[in-house]
């Protein structure tokens, strides 16, 4: 198995171990409602909320609701209108760097 080296730094060795699981196929925490699996139990618990349909976090600028507060926070960035992340291949710009592919 080959592992790509990434530029990440961790204060605690435990965080490095958790991160390294991302690069392996080890995903012991499986959702019992779909085929998703996770490296950490906390990620599975967060994921399970999407199956309940409960979305308690509502954007105060539009009617969208979300099951996780972190997703609401990310969504709110779209209302600002700033797009500081530019694609190296074309002129497209994005509000979130995770949208760069």
Tokens representing 1 are: 């198995």
Residues comprising the chain, all counted? 101
| 52 or 3: which leads in pLDDT | 52
User: Domains plus CATH for the chain?
Assistant: 26-53 (3.30.160.60), 57-99 (3.30.160.60)
pTM above 0.85, yes or no: no
For 32-90, what is each residue's pLDDT tens digit?
999 999 988 999 998 998 899 999 999 999 999 999 898 999 899 889 888 888 888 88
Using only C-alpha atoms, the chain has a radius of gyration, in whole angstroms, of 17
Closest CA to 61 of 45, 73, 43, 46: 73
- Cα–chain center distance at 58: 19
């Amino acid at each position: 198995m080959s592992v790509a080296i990434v530029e990440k730094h961790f204060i605690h060795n435990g965080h490095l171990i958790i991160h390294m699981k991302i690069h392996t196929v080890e995903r012991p925490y499986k959702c019992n409602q779909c085929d998703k699996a996770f490296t950490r139990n906390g990620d599975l618990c967060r994921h399970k909320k999407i199956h309940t349909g409960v979305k308690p976090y509502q954007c105060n600028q539009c009617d969208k609701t979300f099951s996780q507060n972190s997703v609401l926070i990310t969504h709110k960035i779209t209302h600002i209108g700033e797009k500081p992340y530019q694609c190296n291949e074309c002129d497209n710009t994005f509000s979130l760097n995770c949208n760069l592919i």
